[in-house]
Amino acid sequence: MSKAWRIEFDGAIYHVLSRGNEQRDIFTDDEDRLLFLELMGEMADRFNLEIYAYVLMTNHYHIILKTQKSNLSKSLQWFGLSYSRRYNNRHGRSGHLFQGRFKSFLIEDNSYLMRLSCYIHRNPLRAGIIERLADYRWSSYLTYAYARKAERWLKTELILSQFQGNRLEKNRAYRKKVQEYSKEEKRILDDLRHGLFFGARDFIYKMRDKYLPKEPHKEKPQQRDVLRSNDINKQLEEAEKIIGADLNGFKNKKRLSGEDKIKRDLLINLFWEMGLYRNEDIGKVFGVSYSSISKSVSAIREQIKTDKKIRLEFEKLNSQFKL
């Protein structure tokens, strides 16, 4: 089984989740949920974590947290084992409770922290468990939105500080933000890069340069994916073959139109969506100015929506590069 690539450093913020083995429940009753919250608080104390938000579902959980020290794996391993042991003892069962290793996504900054808190808090609504988030007890939403007394270890200041006013005004503003977030839910997934990062392209660029080893670990495919993405020219050769494009031919023409322009813009869009290259880098490869990259991306995306043939070429590229 491949291993997850954990990027750990002091002060890192993560979205963490884990599911029940074979999609089975990890909570049987409210006593299990209370135990889970108790252990979450103990984890925060033991490992010096700041926990910003959480939601407990039937067969999985979400937590947003910050590690003061680079100890994410150590913290979550203790947490998962502690809860599994207590759960198994209580219910007279044995074996794995969780499905493999927990997943973690590194969060760039407070704006993404805010968006992710809205996203995970809306989980019970998306799952159809409740019709109003105010009716769901097992998340931190009620503390953020209605000033319900929080667990002593829940840190709400960082997220609520992004709103103006007193505490009640901030609660009201957060509640409104979550209600309006239904329009943005799909967009947050657009900012998930390589199954590792929630952030903008420059953030991915920075993390890659700082933490990616020169030789990837053979059991960590995410490292290999990111490392391969460094060689834009090699990937471009592969992409050209897929859609039958000729970049050198494009560069020799003063002005592109018709099918040539479509193919070039599809390739530009491909590398823009990878989230690993600046517009300047893409522009140099394609022989265009960095300012024209966004225009090309916008233009081809509109064509993808309306032209079936272009959409098929787009899907062919994305499937091969697994974007």
In a domain, 267, yes or no: yes
Query: Which residues contact residue 205 at a Cβ distance below 8 angstroms, ignoring those fewer than 6 apart?
Result: 276, 277, 278
Calculate mean pLDDT across residues 253-263.
80
Question: How high is the pLDDT of residue 17?
Answer: 94
pLDDT digits (tens, 9 = 90+) for 179-237: 888 766 666 665 666 567 777 767 777 777 777 655 555 555 454 555 555 567 777 88
What pLDDT was estimated at residue 191?
A: 61
pLDDT of residue 159 exceeding 60: yes
> Over the chain, what is the mean pLDDT?
85
Instruction: Specify if 207 maps to a domain.
Output: no
Average pLDDT over residues 299-322: 86
Are both 176 and 241 inside the same structural domain? no
Same domain, 38 and 141: yes
Residue count (the chain): 323
pTM of the predicted model as reported, rounded to 2 decimal places? 0.67
* Residue 137: domain span: 12-202
Mean pLDDT of 139-162: 96
Q: What is the mean pLDDT of residues 269-285?
A: 79
User: Do both 246 and 191 map to the same domain?
Assistant: no
* Residue 212 belongs to some domain of the structure: no
CA dist., res. 79 & res. 114, Å (int): 25
The mean per-residue pLDDT over the stretch 72-95 comes to 95
The answer to whether residues 45 and 122 belong to one domain is: yes
- CATH number of the domain bearing residue 25: 3.30.70.1290
Whether 262 and 161 map to the same domain: the answer is: no
158 shares its domain with 293 = no
Number of domains in the chain: 2
pLDDT of 19 higher than 90: yes
**The pLDDT value given to residue 141:** 97
Secondary structure of residue 198 in the 3-state scheme? strand
Q: 103: part of which helix (H) or strand (E)? A: strand 103-107
Residue 98 DSSP symbol:
B
Greater confidence (50 vs 231) lies with 50
Residue 230 confidence (pLDDT): 53
User: Do 294 and 190 belong to one domain?
Assistant: no
Same domain for 29 and 159, yes or no, is yes
